[in-house]
Structure formats: C-alpha cells, structure tokens
Structure 1
Amino acid sequence: MNQLDALKQFTTVVADTGDFKQLAQFQPQDATTNPSLILKAVQKPEYAPLLKDTVAAWRGRALDEVMDRLLVRFGCEILGTIPGRVSTEVDARLSFDTSATVSRAERIIELYQAEGLHIDRVLIKVAATWEGIEAARRLEARGIHTNLTLLFSMAQAIACGQAKVQLISPFVGRIYDWHKKHAGAAWDEAARAGANDPGVQSVTQIYNYYKHFGIATEVMGASFRNVGQITALAGCDLLTIAPDLLAQLAQTEAPLVRALDANAARKMEIAAVQYDEAGFRYALNEDAMATEKLAEGIRAFAVDAIQLEKLILAA
C-alpha cells in the first residue's frame, strides 16, 4: 500500500489546488482554494476559456462580484470531481471588517446555491483575525460553514473553537519557514524534522487541545513543505496537500503509522483557556511568529487578489 492510501485510513485527504483537472488521479475527499491558487490556475492555457467565459457572462457587473463568480465557477468545477466540500476564500482585504466578510460570504453561498449546490458542500475561508473569527461565528449561527485560514497560533485556534467554526487550517509549512529563517545558521534540519518540526508541533498541540476538551471544530493541517510534515500528522482530522506532495505520497511504499490520536489526547493533562477580544489580541501580539505570518499572509493574498482583478479586467 502506498503512503497516500495508508494516510487515507487515518485522515481525510484534501487537495490544495485550483487546478481541478489534476484532482481525479488523487481521489481526495475535499479540495481547498485561495486567491493565489486560482491565480496560478487561470494563467494556465487550459483554464483561459473559463476566465473568458465568466468575464463575458458578467461584464459590466462590479469587479468584486465578477471575482466571486470566477471563484465559484472554479469551485463548481472542483465539486464536479470530488465527493466532499470545497473551500472558497473571502477577499483577504476584508480581513479586518466583520460585517463586510459576512456579506461577501453570504453572496458566495448564494452563487453556489444558484448553481444547485447544497450549502454543506462549501466552506467559506476567512483569515483567523479577531474580526474574521467573529464573522465566522455569525456565519456558523446562520448555517454557513467556515474554514479559518492563516492560522499560526494556539490563541487563534482556541478563539475559533469558542466561535464553533466548522474547520481550521493551521499552516505547518509557514510556521516551519519562520523558525528556520530565525534560527539561521543554527538551524538543524534533521533535529527539527518529523514530530520535532515546529509546524507539526503546533498542529499537534491544537489537535490534542480540541480532542481533550471535545471541541467539534475540525483540524486540517495545511501548507506543507515536505512529505515528512504530512506523515508526522497522520491521524489529524484532515490534511490539505498540494498535488506534487500527493504524487510523492502515492509513489512511496514506506510504512505509515498513526501519529495523532484522539483517545490519547483525552487522557492528557491540559489546562483550559478562554479568550475575550483583549485577551486574544494580547496573546497573538505575544507570539511574534503568528503575528508576522498572519500579516504577511493577508498581504500576499491581497496582492494575488489584485492580480486576479487585473486579469479579469484584461479578459
């Protein structure tokens, strides 16, 4: 049995791509997209007609609406090839505006429903800022499920659990990147691999906290740099994996064992934490890595959203 099939025994495998023509070979349950992945896909020749058709159909509408319609078009194509859910992201430039995030999310859901898709097959991706988490709390109360992204800290995870969000996406690779960069010449790759990888440690801590306290929010490790980070999180609720790493797993026959275990987590001694807004902001501020990576992630997604808008205007 290859490692991809072995991983599927413990964990729901999710494809991290906008390139829906690649999906079938890996048979993922779910798929995730973001502005960067959609931007990458629409620049490929095979997706150019999809961009042109969407823009032509809605020319004259507000740019943000055409953008949402393009994201939903990709989402619908993806849902045609997978059995589960697709994650579609709210514009990162709204990351500090709760009401605007709620409105944009509701429109995205309405666009999917207009295509005949059930609300439960879509997760609205929102950055895990305080405002984003509050928007997700309101959306969940209305039956719209959310995926809280750009998540780098325990404080973000705990606040998301309190808000009863459907799913969180802690970013393994970007946590690893930060620690590696800050260690500089002192970084020891072998010593910080597998279970000792700082990104793996972060997701493991969040997973154990959620399972210990019976928090229903799903944990989906994201943003992987290597296969070792993935195999060290076998047993996590879900893992969203880029096609190149899915291919590596499918080509590897090495044995794979469960690394995370909900039953073991329930027996651990873990202190409960609660956050109000001030406490959350202070805890996030105390975490230099999470503060920097959250801000950097929002900026990068915003840049790619602007690039996507330029392609829409040029189509």
Structure 2
Amino acid sequence: MAHNHSHSSQNHGKAFGIGIALNTMYVAVELYYGFVANSSALLADAGHNASDVFSLILAWAAIIIATKKPSKRYTYGLRKTTILASMINGLIIIAAAGLIAWDAIQKFQNPVEISGNLVMIVAAIGLVVNTGTAFLFWKGQKGDLNIRGAFLHMAADAGVTLGVLLGGLAIKYTGLTWIDPALSLIIVLVILYSSWGLLRDSVKIAIDAVPKNINIDEVEEFLSDLKGVEDVHDLHIWAMSTTETALSTHLVVPKGYDDQFLYDIRDQLCDKFKITHTTIQIEKEFGDKEYQPYQELDTN
C-alpha cells in the first residue's frame, strides 16, 4: 500500500525549519553566555538543546526521505539512513555529556563566581524558544508519531530550561555556587537517559528487531483468527525506517482465497498495528506435506 508523506512534509516543513533555526541560535547564545557566566548549567542545557536540534533534523529528514522512490540498487529506498543518523546522534550526545560532566566536577573542586542574573535571563529566553517550538508541533503531534516525538523533545527542553532559570534564581539569593554544577549533573543525567534510549532503540531497529510498539504475539493471534487460515508461520516484523514497519509471513489457507482477502489483511494490519508494508505468501498445505504456494503477493 502506497503512503503519501508529502502532505506531512509540506505541512510541517515550516515548523521544523523555524524550530531548528530558533534552537540553533539559542544554543549559540547559551554556549557564549555559559562561558561568560561560568555556568555549567547553561553549558549543559546548551548540550541538551543541541541534541534536540539534531532530533528535529532527524525527524524532518525522516519525513523527507520517506518520499524518495526506491531504485534498482536501493529497492527499499533510503529509509534506513534515518536509523544510522539516530545511532550517530546518540553516540555524539553521550560523548558531549561526558565533557559537560567533567566541567561540572571541576567546578565542584574549584568553585567560581556565577552570575545568577545572567543565568536567569538566558534561561528565560530559552524557555520562550522551547515552549514556542513545542507549540509549532502541537496540532500535528496528535496524528503523527514522528511529529509527536519532536513535540515531546521540545516540551522536555522547556522543563529543563525552567529548572536552569530557577537555579539561577537560587544562586542570586543564596550565593551558593554549587547549585550550578549540581544542576549541570542533573541535566547530564537527563541527556544520558534520553540518548541511551535513542541509541538502544536505533541499534535494535538496525538489526531488524520487532519495533517496541508492536506485540508480535498479538499480530500472530490476529492472523491465526482470520477466517480460512489454519496456520501462520515464518512471521517477520521489522522497521523499514524510524517511521515505517514491514511484515512478511506465510498463511496456510486450504480452501483458497481471493485478492480482496489479502487487501483486507493489509488494511487491518495497518489500522490495528500501524504496519504499513506487508508481504504475504498463501499456501495450501503445511506440516510434513510439500508446500503448494498459491502465490506470493506484496499487498502494498
């Protein structure tokens, strides 16, 4: 079944472009004033925001790449480049988090004067940028998992930046400089948690694991319960990209079938499990008997 992603790309291209531009500029501002204010928290938040700029780029790229037609050499198209990019993204973020943590530890050992006011001003700008970017994806996130991922990333960023702002307020009124590196380490933990999940999921997808949002037992039960189906075997489910899932299987249907039977299975797999590419081979007999396949048909 063909899927048209161009409409989504057109609708959200401007949102992605604005979000990436605003957040990239804000990362530059945070880095500059993080060094000026000697704030590990601002530098850590800059790293966190940079990771989400990468995430926005990947989400946008996934939509665009999904519209590219397969070729004779790349018969599935270039969908899995989004998975490779996710893995590289995760590794880069983890490395950056290590550098941020090292800087925070150094500030615990050698405290430096920190401008609470400057930290608050920069964090307040970030709160506006992150909240505004999240709202750009508010409408689309209800019906598109890829857009929802972008929305959640930016909403989480807004929460982290709010924490940095409150930390700046605490530094201003208490003068306790350890609050800044402590906040930095908390942000590092947030970064590591999210990036480790990204890296883990990317590796699983790269080696064709069943996507985590799909229960293969439920899919097998659904296929087994179809009228006329006596056996299901060689069932495989894997991710074609970060947004598309494929399935191939053999169904034993002794009394035969018509094309509508396959089309109905295709539509139901898409509706129930979000499986968008199905290849089904129908067989007449199974067990110790020789297979007599009617036809192997890609129903897409």
Relative to the length of structure 2, the TM-score reads: 0.20
Answer 1 or 2: which has greater helix percent: 2
Relative to the length of structure 1, the TM-score reads: 0.20
Larger RCO (CA within 8 A; separation ≥ 6): 1
